[in-house]
Amino acid sequence: MTDAHTSTAPTPDPRRGSPAGSADRTDTALTVVKAHGTGNDFVVVPDPDVLVDVTPELVRGLCDRHRGVGGDGLIRVATCGALVRAGVLDAVPDGLDDNSWFMDYRNADGSTAEMCGNGVRVFGHVLHARGLLGDAGPGGTEVTVGTRAGARTLRVHSADDVSADVSVDMGVPAVTGVSTCTVGDRDIAGLAVDMGNPHLAAVVPGLTAGDLADLPLDRGVTHDEAFFPDGVNVEVVTALADGAVRMRVHERGVGETLSCGTGTVAAAVAALADAGDGTGTVDVHVPGGVVSVTVEGNDEGITGSTLRGPSRIVFATTVDPAVLAG
Bridging pattern class, strands 301-319 and 289-298: antiparallel
Residue 259's closest CA among 41, 66, 76, 107? 41
Angle at 192 between CA 191 and CA 197, to 5 degrees: 140
- Are the C-beta atoms of 324 and 58 separated by less than 8 Å? yes
Provide the pLDDT confidence category of residue 136 given band limits of 50, 70 and 90. Answer: low
Burial of 290 (0-12, 13-18, 19+ CB in 10 A): middle
The per-residue pLDDT for 1 is: 34
Q: Could you tell me the pTM of the whole model?
A: 0.87
Residue 233's closest CA among 37, 34, 40? 40
For domain 174-308, give the fold: Diaminopimelate Epimerase; Chain A, domain 1 (3.10.310)
Active site residue 181: no
| Helical H segments across 2-161, by residue range | 56-63, 80-85, 117-129
Domain ranges of the chain: 30-170+312-325, 174-308
CATH of segment(s) 30-170+312-325 = 3.10.310.10
pLDDT tens for 241-252 read 999 999 999 999
Which range (15-19, 129-133, 156-160) has the least confidence?
15-19
- Whether residue 196 is predicted with pLDDT greater than 80 in this model: the reply is yes
Residue 272's closest CA among 260, 261, 283, 286? 283
Q: Looking at the chain, how many residues does it have?
A: 326
Residue 252's closest CA among 116, 151, 124? 116
The answer to whether 30-170+312-325 and 174-308 have equal CATH topology is yes
- Whether residue 106 is predicted with pLDDT greater than 90 in this model: the reply is yes
The per-residue pLDDT for 134 is: 73
What is the rounded CA–CA span in Å between residue 261 and residue 147? 14
Q: Which residues are annotated binding-site positions for substrate?
A: 40, 107, 117-118, 197, 233, 251-252, 261-262
pLDDT tens for 289-318 read 999 999 999 999 999 999 999 999 999 999
Q: Which residues are annotated binding-site positions?
A: 40, 107, 117-118, 197, 233, 251-252, 261-262
Active site residue 116: yes
- Are the C-beta atoms of 26 and 10 separated by less than 8 Å? no
DSSP element (H, E) containing 264: helix 261-274
The per-residue pLDDT for 26 is: 41
Amino acid at 105: Y
- Whether residue 226 is predicted with pLDDT greater than 70 in this model: the reply is yes
DSSP bridge partners of 35: 42, 313
pLDDT tens for 7-28 read 333 334 433 444 333 455 445 6
- Whether residue 3 is predicted with pLDDT greater than 50 in this model: the reply is no
Which is higher by pLDDT, 195 or 21? 195
63, 80, 116, 181: the active-site residue: 116
Burial of 13 (0-12, 13-18, 19+ CB in 10 A): exposed
pLDDT tens for 61-100 read 999 999 999 999 999 999 999 999 999 999 999 999 999 9
